[in-house]
Structure 1
Amino acid sequence: MQRYFVAAEQFGDSKVRIVGEDAHHAVRVMRTKPGDKFIVSDGQSRTALVSVLEATPSIIKAEIVEMMDNDSEPEWAVTIAQSLPKADKMELVIQKGTEIGAFAFIPFQSERMIVQYDAKKEAKRIERWSKIAKEAAEQAHRSRIPVIEPLHSWRELMKSAAEYDLVLFCYEREGHLAHGRGIRTAVQQWASRIDAVSNPKVLLIVGSEGGFTDREAAEAEAAGAVLVGLGRRILRTETAGIVGLTCLLYESGEMGGA
């Protein structure tokens, strides 16, 4: 069933309004008409099954048929910090990460980042990424849209590490046979050191095409991050975050794990 996110002010006690591009899409593409039903969420605490009363390309008015449980969000709030990759790879990370269950995304700058960052394009890029996250959240029947943070410097990212219950730094050396510390080991060691945390906040840090330097790994560890590998194979930058997120949600029990 089609799902749309609306602003809180469009979500009333008994009726909802859908406007702008969503209304246009519903009427012109989905051929929505009075009597049709779909799901509407305010992206926070309210989700409802609604029935269309009026439908035009500029506005849809619908009545609430029943309120629904917001049970599609993972208990672990995992933020993917992704060093800015080339081309449209960040779009893939955001799209697939949103489908899987990422809480937020932080693009950041690292030493071996290949792409040339253009500050003039940042606002437009964030707008594009936010739209991709919204569409992916609708497709996946999420109850909220992941936040896309502004581009962080390396120092800003390291400073933010203190805000999380667990920080994992994806480092290819940890994936080699001589090291072997993976996400499962890191999660088990973390859980054994502290009491159970309700809705833990986890930061997963992923490098760009060039990977991380030894200095960055040392600074991340000094900031409280746990260095982890994602297996003995070298993953592409756009693959690493998706794999890491999936492993974390499995270990949390979200996908039938522990």
Structure 2
Amino acid sequence: MDRFFIRQEISQSTFIENQEDVKHISKVLRLRVNDKIEVVDSNEKEYLCEIIAISKDSVEYKVIEEVAIKRELGVQIKVYQGVPKGQKLDLIAQKLTEIGVYSITPVEFKRCVSSIKEEKEDKKIARLQRIIYEAAKQSKRNHIPKIESPMTFKELVKELKSNTINIVFYECEEENNLKSYFASLDLSDIESIGVIVGPEGGITPEEIELLESNGCKVLTLGARILRTETAAVVASAIIAYEAENIQT
């Protein structure tokens, strides 16, 4: 069943008015009156609904019932991704949304070989947010992850204070891994985890030292060196698996 998001509480609106969604419903999916859809409101609550009217500008529906399924993780995973080359960030944003991350922030590390130019930032962020929106619908999310504006490394260090714990993955770390680190934690006491992944060029020793001195745990993802887009997905998937377990 197809899923759509509205910006209001379900009690305040019985219309889907996002023009791309309206077009998708009427022209692509070719849904009709009496067809069922899933609607998620601004409170991230999910409802089974029935279409009662379709016009050029909106789709009207009625609520059949609230769907009581816990789809979001009990821990907010906030990924800080070193800006990669080309369109890799598109893939990263899509897959991290499917996995269940809470937010994604591009970070400009010293060894980044690419950057998001200021004059193109708004366009790039809007594109990524559209990718995330579609991935959230496809993966049955109730929360649409936000792609934050790019930040500098100095801004990242300041941002760490907003998370319960922070993790950075470093290819020169050989002993400490996610499994052993999580074994020492009670995830039920953790509200948010900052996950830091470097760019193609890696993170410099000086950056690692500064992150560690600000309370960031330095970990390895194994003996093999992963591409930046692979590392972000693998790390987030492992953390999401552990976060799922605390809800069962």
- TM-score (normalizing by structure 2): 0.94
Contact 1:83 1:207 in 2 (8 A): yes
Question: Hey, what's the Cα distance between the residues in 1 that align with 2:7 and 2:247?
Answer: 35
CA distance in 2, matches of 1:85, 1:57: 40
SS in 2 for 1:173: coil
State the partner residue of 2:203: 212
Do structure 1's residue 7 and structure 2's residue 7 form an aligned pair?
yes
Report deviation, 1:185.
Answer: 1.6
Match of 2:239 in 1: 248
In the alignment, the residues of structure 2 paired with residue 257 and residue 19 of structure 1 have an alpha-carbon distance, to the nearest angstrom, of 33
The one-letter code matched in structure 1 to 2:178 is I
1:63 aligns with 2:54: no
Aligned twin of 1:237: 228
Q: What amino acid does structure 1 have at the position aligned with 2:217?
A: V
Deviations 1:12-52 (A, max 9, x none): 35834333111011100000111111101025332111101
C-alpha change, 1:91 and 1:33, in structure 2 (3 Å) is: same
**How far apart are residue 149 of structure 1 and its match?**
0.9
What's the secondary structure of 2:172's corresponding residue? helix
2:161 is the alignment partner of 1:170: no
Q: Which residue of 1 is the match for residue 177 of structure 2?
A: 182
* 1:228 and 2:242 matched: no
Residue pair 1:48, 1:68 contacting (<8 A) in 2 also: yes
2:50 aligned counterpart, secondary structure: strand
TM-score (norm 1): 0.91
**Alignment correspondent of 1:144:** 143
Aligned length: 248
**Which residue identity is paired with 1:4?**
F
Q: CA RMSD in A?
A: 1.9
* Compared CA separation, residues 241 and 22, structure 1 to 2 (3 A): same
Q: Residue 83 of structure 1 corresponds to which residue in structure 2? A: 82
Aligned partner letter, 1:37? K
Cα gap change, 1:125/1:183 in structure 2, threshold over 3 Å: closer, same or farther?
same
Contact map agreement 1:83 1:107 (CA 8 A) in 2: yes
Q: Distance in 1 between matches of 2:155 and 2:192?
A: 18
- The question of whether the paired residues in 1 share the 8 Å contact of 2:97 and 2:136 is answered with yes
Which whole-Å CA distance do the structure 1 matches of 2:182 and 2:209 have between them?
Answer: 20
- Deviation at 1:147? 1.3
Distance 1:115 1:161 in 2: 23
CA contact (8 A) 2:93 2:132 kept: yes
Q: Is the 8 A contact 2:108 2:115 kept in 1?
A: no
What stretches of structure 1 of length at least 5 have no aligned partner?
none
* Post-superposition CA distance 1:56-107 (Å, at most 9, x none): 3421001111111251001111011001101111111110000010011011
